[in-house]
Amino acid sequence: MFNIGDMFGKLQEMQDQVQKAKNSLNDVIIETDVGGGMVKIKVNANKRVLRLTIDPEIYDDKEMVEDLVCAAVNKAMEIAEDRAREEMSKITAEYMPNIPGLDLKQFGL
């Protein structure tokens, strides 16, 4: 028999687990580089830049530095988003059915 109280309890439990998972994404560290290591970046899975390192030998080429920094940030953010999605899906898989085409991004999942 369907019990709405059980459903709300499960929803609250899922919300709690999602919040814990979001907090744990701070500990998932991604390090990548571009330009053969001329620009290195370290971010967490919550898409926060933690460190950016630029090889001093390219300082005199402003345009190259700008391009490489953009490329490094974009690459790191893509990886961070994928890792965050993986981590969150581990939590939500327990509570949500896998429905093709169901996009839960608006709910932070």
End-to-end CA distance of the chain: 29
For the stretch 63-97, pLDDT in tens is: 999 999 999 999 999 999 999 988 888 776 766 65
- Residue pair 83/45 in contact (Cβ under 8 Å)? The answer is yes
CA 69 to chain centre: 19
Give the phi and the psi of residue 32 in degrees, each rounded to 5.
-150, 170
Q: Are strands 39-44 and 29-34 parallel, antiparallel or unpaired?
A: antiparallel
Q: Is the pLDDT of residue 10 over 80?
A: no
Residue 99's SS3 state is coil
Q: What percent of the chain has pLDDT over 90?
A: 55
Q: How confident is the model at residue 1 (pLDDT cuts 50, 70, 90)?
A: low
- Residue pair 96/104 in contact (Cβ under 8 Å)? The answer is yes
Please give the model's pTM, rounded to 2 decimal places. Answer: 0.71
| Ordered structural domains, the chain, with CATH | 27-94 (3.30.1310.10)
